[in-house]
A and B are shown apart, each in its own frame.
Chain A
Amino acid sequence: AQSVAQPEDQVNVAEGNPLTVKCTYSVSGNPYLFWYVQYPNRGLQFLLKYITGDNLVKGSYGFEAEFNKSQTSFHLKKPSALVSDSALYFCAVRVTSGGSYIPTFGRGTSLIVHP
């Protein structure tokens, strides 16, 4: 079985400050990890993914995420938050082989960036 935990329902950060949205996972085997963002009344948009190789993955809109195998984490980060980053963020995981083709999503974290 595979699972994803996003321990924070909401993250508040001031504009210009760094932000972190946490994600931990549990899989049998090696993971593929994804981050998606959902703006109000919109579908999910792909931000970035970890497949293999460099543990630091860079994605859209200045976001990056670091894969940490020992801590089974894939936290989303951005050095300087913008008010326009306020949205709902989802982490997702798939196993690399022998598992379900269906990705498992976390419950989502609401990011609020204050001016």
Chain B
Amino acid sequence: GAGVSQSPSNKVTEKGKDVELRCDPISGHTALYWYRQSLGQGLEFLIYFQGNSAPDKSGLPSDRFSAERTGGSVSTLTIQRTQQEDSAVYLCASSLDSGREQETQYFGPGTRLLVL
């Protein structure tokens, strides 16, 4: 079946512009995660959605970052007034039900963001 998809695959923007990154999780997966991967920094958790519950936003680095998940499926990560330090690969992952901690996460290919 189809895996997690993300768009765009690459995004180049100018400092100060807003960007939107999209994630389509695997159908039926109720949990969705956003991570940021910077060179040599590993994976930084940003935000997590589980079903209709309020999202866990504890990883968002500033109020310029926000995310929503419509209809329990597609998610959009928005970065306002982008800064050069926002340049990174943004990864989305989904899992069947994160209420079970042993659930495997399935990752999308990522969006590579470059802020000039």
Contacts and interface: CB of A to CB of B under 8 A. Distances in A.
Interface of A: 9, 32, 34, 36, 41-46, 49, 51, 90, 94-97, 99, 101-103, 105-108
Interface in B30-59: 31, 33, 35, 40-43, 45, 48, 50, 56, 59
A43 B104 contact: no
B1 interface: no
Interface stretch (B14-22, B62-70, B80-88, B106-114): B106-114
Kindly name the residue among A41, A90, A96, A99 whose own CB sees the greatest number of chain B CB atoms within 10 A. Answer: A41
B30 to A, nearest CB: 12
Contacts of A34: 104-105
Contacts of A49: 102, 104
A103 B104 CA distance: 10
Contacts of A43: 4, 6, 91, 93, 107-110
Contacts of A96: 101-102
- Binding site secondary structure of chain A: loop
Nearest to B6: A43
A105 B42 contact: yes
Nearest to B35: A105
Given A102-B45, A105-B43, A97 B101 contact: yes
B103 to A, nearest CB: 9
Given A90-B43, A105-B43, A41 B33 contact: no
Contacts of B112: 41
B98 interface: yes
A81 B99 CA distance: 36
7 contacts: A32-B101, A32-B102, A49-B104, A90-B42, A96-B102, A101-B48, A102-B56
